[in-house]
């Protein structure tokens, strides 16, 4: 009994000492305790911390690059189209400065298609096509002529043969608008008939040469890439 009592007392004393030590270490709140474990967020938190540490490990601070300003323009496409130093070249360069995507040869090819579409739409009285290709002022002029023709019960018969020659003769910026002027020589068969079917203008069997000077414009600030006809002039 005496041995049992001494052993019991020994373990009781040891338990009190251990409890006291654990209380000193674990029983105090310091304000920096971690929140309870959440199995739904622990994985995401661990991933974020790992990604953050990885990013920190892979970041190498670089010296700030001085702003060297915009890269110089490449005018080679323009210089091969119009001699450098000339007025046309200067105008084309100004347009490219405002619209870096501008390319003169591509514009001329597009103008050829637009010219044929406009000529044929006017002959056919196709107002919708004209609306998409003409500026407001030019459109109103074309439509007024179509209206007058329809009131007189006249009709144009037209066949477009093709463009013989097209030259870009003018280029300039007017504010944010780019203006390009073309001299166009085309061939077509055209005749206007009255309500009785009689030819009152042109010749339905003769190919005629037509010379026009047309100016197209586009606002370089607009996201719309299309050019519109803003001025027309017949050249004798």
H helix intervals, 59-176: 76-79, 87-98, 104-124, 127-133, 136-151
Query: Of residues 92 and 1, which shows the higher confidence score?
Result: 92
Strand extents, DSSP E, the chain: 155-174, 177-193, 199-202, 208-219, 228-234
Q: pTM here? A: 0.69
| Secondary structure of residue 147 in the 3-state scheme | helix
State the CB neighbour count (10 A cutoff) for residue 148: 10
Q: Are 143 and 130 in contact (CB under 8 A)?
A: yes
What is residue 6's predicted lDDT score, i.e. its pLDDT?
A: 44
Mean pLDDT of 130-150: 97
Q: What is the pLDDT of residues 184-218, one digit of tens each?
A: 999 999 999 999 999 999 999 999 999 999 999 99
d(CA 228, CA 186): 19
What is residue 54's predicted lDDT score, i.e. its pLDDT?
A: 47
State the CB neighbour count (10 A cutoff) for residue 93: 19
Distances in whole angstroms, Cα of residue 124 to Cα of each of 72, 128, 147, 210: 47, 11, 12, 18
d(CA 186, CA 164): 5
d(CA 88, CA 77): 13
Q: What is the pLDDT of residues 18-43, one digit of tens each?
A: 544 544 444 444 444 444 433 333 44
Here the tokens at position 46 are 């661990």
Distant-in-sequence, close-in-space partners of 8: CB < 8 Å, separation ≥ 6:
none
Q: Are 118 and 135 in contact (CB under 8 A)?
A: no
CA 189 centroid distance within chain: 39
Quick check: 104 pLDDT over 50?
yes
Q: What is the pLDDT of residues 42-83, one digit of tens each?
A: 444 454 454 455 444 444 344 444 444 455 689 999 999 999
What is residue 99's predicted lDDT score, i.e. its pLDDT?
A: 96
- Provide the 8-state DSSP code for 176: T
């Amino acid at each position: 009994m005496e041995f049992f009592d001494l052993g019991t007392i020994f373990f009781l004393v040891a338990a009190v000492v251990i409890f006291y030590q654990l209380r000193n270490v674990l029983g105090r709140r310091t304000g920096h305790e971690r929140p309870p474990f959440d199995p739904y967020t622990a994985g995401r938190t661990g991933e974020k911390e790992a990604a953050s540490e990885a990013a920190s490990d892979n970041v190498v601070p670089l010296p700030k690059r001085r702003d060297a300003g915009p890269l110089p323009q490449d005018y080679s496409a323009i210089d091969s189209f119009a001699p450098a130093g000339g007025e046309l070249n200067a105008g084309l360069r100004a347009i490219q400065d405002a619209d870096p995507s501008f390319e003169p040869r591509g514009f001329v090819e597009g103008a050829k298609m637009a010219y044929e579409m406009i000529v044929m739409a006017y002959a056919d009285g196709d107002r919708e096509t004209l609306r998409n290709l003409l500026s407001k002022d030019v459109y109103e002029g074309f439509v007024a002529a179509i209206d007058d023709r329809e009131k007189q019960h006249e009709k144009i018969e037209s066949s477009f043969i093709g463009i013989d020659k097209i030259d870009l003769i003018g280029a300039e910026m007017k504010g944010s608008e780019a203006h390009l002027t073309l001299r166009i020589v085309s061939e077509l068969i055209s005749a206007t008939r009255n309500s009785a079917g009689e030819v009152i203008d042109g010749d339905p069997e003769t190919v005629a040469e037509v010379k026009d000077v047309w100016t197209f414009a586009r606002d370089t600030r607009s996201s719309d890439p299309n050019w519109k006809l803003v001025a027309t002039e017949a050249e004798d």
